[in-house]
């Protein structure tokens, strides 16, 4: 069995062979890097408004993205 997106907790790890998922920490890092990089195109000293669409609160992806 190959897992996608979520891990499972089982006593016997041999029940699955591979786990494929997104790197949500890196996704969050890239989002912030984009903001920093594109700040130069925004009028100097203008506020930046950020809206965070979190999804399911305290889910593994939401927690990782906040890191």
Q: What is the pTM of this model?
A: 0.57
Beta-carbon contacts of 15 under 8 Å, excluding residues fewer than 6 positions away, are 1
Per-residue pLDDT of the chain (67 residues; tens, 9 = 90+): 787 777 778 888 888 888 888 888 898 899 889 888 887 776 777 777 888 777 788 887 788 877 8
Helix (H, G, I), strand (E, B) or coil at 40: helix
Q: What is the dihedral of CA 56, 61, 65, 67, to 10 degrees?
A: 110
CA dist 7 and 18 (Å) reads 10
User: Any idea where the domains of the chain sit in the sequence?
Assistant: 25-67
């Amino acid at each position: 069995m190959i897992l996608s997106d979520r891990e499972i907790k089982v006593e016997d790890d041999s029940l699955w062979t591979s786990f494929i998922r997104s790197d949500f920490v890196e996704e969050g890092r890239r989002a912030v890097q984009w903001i920093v990089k594109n700040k130069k195109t925004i009028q100097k000293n203008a506020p930046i408004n950020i809206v965070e669409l979190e999804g399911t609160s305290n889910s593994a992806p939401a927690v990782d993205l906040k890191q």
